[in-house]
Amino acid sequence: MNDAALSPAGRWILRVFFALVVLFLYAPIVILLIFSFNKSAIPAFPLSGFTFHWYREFLSNSDLRNALETSAIVATFSSAGAVVLGILASLALTRRRFSGQSAVSALLLSPLVIPYVVFGISLLLLFHTVGVPRSILTVVIGHIVISLPYTILVLVPRLDQIDASLEEAAFDLGASRMRTFRSITLPLILPAVVSAFLIAFTTSFDEYAVASFVVGSRITFPIYLYSALRFPSQLPQVIAVAVVVLVLSLTVVIAAEVGRRIAERRLGAQ
């Protein structure tokens, strides 16, 4: 019995389905990009003209710049924390065998399946119970937890590709565990570390649900973006800055993945 997916009709259906999925995913981005250059303050067709005015406007908006700065700070610290914890967790999962390993792995990856709203409420109750005031620190903690699974999913496959005998040989030659990690393991996983950091950074920078519950007086960019939608006069600026952030986020993620693959091929060839 022939596989329908391999028949000419099946391949045509799959191509059409794939095209529709791509259109569904990226058509809103294209519409957003078009409206960011619209001269009118009302995002509607037909367009009234072409202008860069809204891009210049958001650059002079101090509140918007402060929100972008706060998100950059939060994303930097949370990404660094998630990568450090991700390296430690990945080493434990790939280089050690212990009872309950599957349960620990599931626990570390559980933020992927827990709704962010539920997680945000839980964090809010936790911080309130222990008396920790909401601030940038609470947002960083929340983003470390939700970014950690992504770093683990990037680092574990790379560690699985590295022959453990390289590390064992270093131990036999008298190297300490820290020296072995610094001189052998880290250089080999560095492309994955950079990729994990950039993915965690993008995840943190764009995250809204968790931050909306634990943010303090300094709001992040997604929260500012959502609040600005209530004011029609700020909508064109919001569209312009959303396009910039979206393009930068896509560029970072694609560059990180391409760079990781290129670096891994070079390491494999060596």
Q: Residue ranges per domain, the chain?
A: 61-269
**pLDDT at site 267:** 60
**pLDDT at site 148:** 92
Round to whole Å and give the CA distance between 191 and 205: 21
Which residues are CB-neighbours of 185 under 8 A, at least 6 positions away? Answer: 91, 159, 162, 167
pLDDT-based confidence at residue 263 (cuts at 50, 70, 90): low
Average pLDDT over residues 190-210: 87
Cα–Cα separations (whole angstroms), residue 231 to 38, 45, 89: 18, 20, 44
pLDDT-based confidence at residue 68 (cuts at 50, 70, 90): confident
Asked if residue 145 has pLDDT above 70, the reply is: yes
Choose the most confident range, by mean pLDDT, from 76-85, 88-97, 123-132, 220-229. 76-85
pLDDT-based confidence at residue 140 (cuts at 50, 70, 90): very high
**pLDDT at site 222:** 86
Asked if residue 174 has pLDDT above 90, the reply is: no
Asked if residue 210 has pLDDT above 80, the reply is: yes
Asked if residue 73 has pLDDT above 50, the reply is: yes
pLDDT-based confidence at residue 1 (cuts at 50, 70, 90): very low
The runs of H, that is alpha helices, within 110-176 are 116-130, 136-161, 164-172
Which residues are CB-neighbours of 91 under 8 A, at least 6 positions away? Answer: 159, 181, 185
Average pLDDT over residues 164-184: 75
How far, rounded to the nearest angstrom, does the alpha carbon of residue 182 sit from its chain's CA centroid?
26
Fold assignment, 61-269: MetI-like fold (1.10.3720)
Q: Higher model confidence: residue 212 or residue 164?
A: 212
pLDDT of 6-27, one tens digit each? Answer: 677 777 888 888 888 888 888 8
- Which residue type sits at 248? L
Q: Is 22 helix (H, G, I), strand (E, B) or coil?
A: helix
**pLDDT at site 152:** 92
- Compute, in degrees rounded to 10, the torsion defined by CA atoms 123, 124, 127, 133: 130
Round to whole Å and give the CA distance between 20 and 232: 32
Q: Higher model confidence: residue 6 or residue 124?
A: 124
**Mean per-residue pLDDT of the chain:** 82
pLDDT more than 70, % of the chain: 91
